[in-house]
Amino acid sequence: MYKSDYFEFFSPVKIISGEHALSTLNYELDRLHVSNPLILTNQSLDELKILDTLLTHIENKSINQRQIIKTIPNQATLEIVKKAAQRYEDLECDGIIALGGEAIIDTAKGINLMISEQIEDLKKLAGVETAHADMQPFIVIPTTSGTGSEAALTAVISDQKNKNDLEFVSSRLIPDLAVIDPKMTFALPPRLTASTGVDALVHAVEAYTGLQTNPLSDAYAFAALKLIGKNLRELVNDVNNQKYRVAMNNAAVMAGIAFSNSHAGIIHAVGDACEKIAGVSHGDALSVLLPHGMFYNLKFDYCRNAYQDILLALEGRDKFIDTDPDDRALIAVNAVVSILNELRAITGIPVTLEEIGVKRKQFEDIIDKAMHNSSILNSAGQVNRIDIKSILEASF
C-alpha cells in the first residue's frame, strides 16, 4: 500500500507529569498571565474532594465561587458552553482551567472558541480549522487516563436542539498546559480504570496502523503501547499504586498525541457510532470492538506489518523473537485479547455489544453513522457497509 513520505506533526501543549506536578500550577498560571481563571468541573469531582485538591494548589490566587462551574454534564453541549462563556465574560476572566474528563475538556474548548472568536453562535465554527483568533490561556488537569483530550485538537459538542453532534477540529484547540498528577486519578475504581485504559490502547493501536502514520506519531504510539502492556493490568489490580498510575497517565497522553496527528480508524468510527446511536459507554464499546476490528485489519498487509511492532511493544523482545514472523501479526491480536480477558476477569468489562445494550435493529443506523466518521478514511483499504456490519455481527 502506497504511503506518501510527506507528513505534518503538531503538539504544542506543555506537559507536566508525575508526583507533585500540581505544585507547579502557580508558576504556570503566572507564566501564562492568568490571575482570574474560570474553573470547570462536575459535582462528582467536587464530592470526591478532587476540586479541593486543585484549589489548595492555587491558593495564592483569589478564587471566588462564581469562578467555579461544577455542573458540567457528561456530554459537552452548546447550551452549557454558551452559559459558561457568558460567565467568563461577566467575571472578566483571563484563562480557563478544565478539571475532569473529555466532556469537561471539550466544554472548555468550546468556551475558548466562543470567547476568542467573539462569536454568538458556536455552530458557525464547526468543522476543520475554522478558528483564527488568538486563544485564551487554557490549562487541563485530566482526572481519567484514557481519552488523551488534554493533547487533542478536537472537540465534540452536542447540539441537543437539532439532535446532532458538532465536531470542531483545530490546532488552536490544543491546551497550553496539561498537568498530569496521579493524585487526580486515584479516585478511578478498577472498572473505570480498565475502561479508560482500553480507550488509550485503541488510540495507540489505531494511531500506529492508520494511513496517516508518520515517524513522530509512531514514536508516541509505540511508547504508549509499551507502557500499556506493562502497566494496565497491574494498575487495575492495584488502583492506588502510584507507579502504575503515572505510567498509564503518561500512556494516555502519548496515545492522545499520536492519534491527534495520525488519526484513529475503523474501531473508533464504529465505537463512536455505537455510543451515539445506542447510548452506550465509549470505553465499553471499544472494549468489545477492539479485537474484532483488529481481526478485520489482518487481511491488509500494511496492518499485519504494523501489528508485528505492536507485538514487540506489548509482549517484549523475547516473545517477538520466539514467534515465527508469519505469525506475529496474529499473535499481536491475541496479546490484545489476553489483556482484555484479564481485565474482564478482574472488573467485568463487557464481551459483547448485546451485553451493553446495542440492539441488532440499530445496526443500519450505526453503519450510517460510522460511514460518515472521518476516521473511516484513515483505515486500511476502502471500508464499506459490509465491512462494518461484519465487525458488528462478530461483536454481537
Asked if residue 269 is part of any domain, the answer here is yes
Cell output for 27: 508558576
Q: Is the dihedral of CA 328, 330, 331, 332 positive or negative?
A: positive
Asked if residue 3 is part of any domain, the answer here is no
In a shared domain, residues 303 and 201:
yes
Asked if residue 21 is part of any domain, the answer here is yes
Asked if residue 4 is part of any domain, the answer here is no
Determine the Cα–Cα distance for residues 331 and 340; give it in Å rounded to an integer: 14
- Bridging pattern class, strands 127-128 and 138-142: unpaired
Cβ atoms of residues 260 and 11 within 8 Å: yes
Contacts of 284 (CB under 8 A, 6+ apart): 195, 349, 350, 356
Asked if residue 366 is part of any domain, the answer here is yes
In a shared domain, residues 150 and 215:
no
Domain C-terminal end among 128, 163, 184: 184
In a shared domain, residues 252 and 298:
yes
The Cα-based distances of 132 to 34, 111, 112, 125, 142 in angstroms read: 21, 15, 12, 10, 26
Residue 152: which CATH number?
3.40.50.1970
Cell output for 224: 504508549
Cβ atoms of residues 162 and 199 within 8 Å: no
Residue carrying C-alpha cell 491558593:
59
Determine the Cα–Cα distance for residues 42 and 44; give it in Å rounded to an integer: 6
pLDDT for 296 equals: 94
pLDDT for 374 equals: 83
The Cα-based distances of 251 to 44, 104, 138, 282 in angstroms read: 25, 20, 22, 18
The Cα-based distances of 305 to 67, 299, 302, 308, 328 in angstroms read: 51, 11, 5, 5, 9
Cell output for 100: 475532569
In a shared domain, residues 195 and 162:
no
In a shared domain, residues 274 and 207:
yes
Determine the Cα–Cα distance for residues 170 and 175; give it in Å rounded to an integer: 11
Domain C-terminal end among 162, 184, 206: 184
Number of separate domains in the chain: 2
Contacts of 74 (CB under 8 A, 6+ apart): 42, 103
Per-residue pLDDT of the chain in tens (396 residues, 90 and over written 9): 456 688 889 999 999 999 999 999 999 999 999 999 999 999 999 999 999 999 999 876 778 899 999 999 988 999 999 999 999 999 999 999 999 999 999 999 999 999 999 999 999 999 989 989 999 999 999 998 777 888 888 899 999 888 788 889 999 999 999 999 999 988 889 999 999 999 999 999 999 998 889 999 999 999 999 999 999 999 999 999 999 999 999 999 999 999 989 988 999 999 999 998 999 988 899 999 999 999 999 999 889 999 999 999 999 999 999 999 999 999 999 999 999 999 999 999 999 999 999 999 999 999 999 998 888 888 888 899 999 999 999 999
Residue 240: which CATH number?
1.20.1090.10
Could you tell me which residues are beta bridge partners of residue 99? 141
Asked if residue 5 is part of any domain, the answer here is no
In a shared domain, residues 321 and 362:
yes
pLDDT for 325 equals: 94
pLDDT for 4 equals: 65
Residue carrying C-alpha cell 490546532:
171
Cβ atoms of residues 203 and 213 within 8 Å: no
Q: Which of 148, 279, 126, 280 is nearest to 206 (CA)?
A: 148
In a shared domain, residues 94 and 174:
yes
Domain C-terminal end among 165, 184, 203: 184
The secondary structure of 111-146 as a DSSP string is HHHHHHHT-S-GGGG-EES---SPPPPEEEEESSSS
Asked if residue 211 is part of any domain, the answer here is yes
Q: Which of 381, 385, 218 is nearest to 302 (CA)?
A: 381
Determine the Cα–Cα distance for residues 24 and 58; give it in Å rounded to an integer: 9
pLDDT for 302 equals: 86
In a shared domain, residues 159 and 230:
no
In a shared domain, residues 207 and 355:
yes
In a shared domain, residues 243 and 384:
yes
pLDDT for 315 equals: 95
Helix axes 215-237, 242-262, angle to 10 degrees: 150
Range of the domain at 167: 14-184
Determine the Cα–Cα distance for residues 238 and 7; give it in Å rounded to an integer: 40
In a shared domain, residues 245 and 350:
yes
Asked if residue 169 is part of any domain, the answer here is yes
